[in-house]
Amino acid sequence: MIRQLYVELKIVRQDNRSQKTFGNFLDEKNLLVSAMVPGQRIRSKPEQIVRAFRDRGGHECGAIPGNMTVVVVDQHPKEKPGFSRTYRPADLYLNGECTDANGYYIEQNNLAAL
């Protein structure tokens, strides 16, 4: 199913369809992911600043753009106060320095309710 979504995404980009069609596709993809991954959806703050996320040890794992929706699986993890643990971000935003086993964390003050 995910492979099919990726193929559809590539087709939409290649055909240069309208922004509305592309937006509808992304909404459907988000519904699918929300059914598969439990957690609370929260948006990174809308400023144009890129928000860094880290692993449990504090290493920077990559960054996400402002106003992006993330899935928070633990809003107040005991192992990293002041941060929220998020579901694995898209490969596009990872820098290859971290592993899924160490988790991904973003500062709580960089998150806002949807």
pLDDT-based confidence at residue 81 (cuts at 50, 70, 90)? very high
The span from the first CA to the last CA of the chain, in angstroms, equals: 27
User: Cα-flanking dihedrals φ and ψ of residue 26, to 5°?
Assistant: -65, -35
**Residue 22 phi, psi dihedral angles, 5° rounding:** -65, -40
pTM, two decimal places: 0.60
Query: pLDDT tens across 34-55, in order?
Result: 677 667 777 666 665 677 889 9
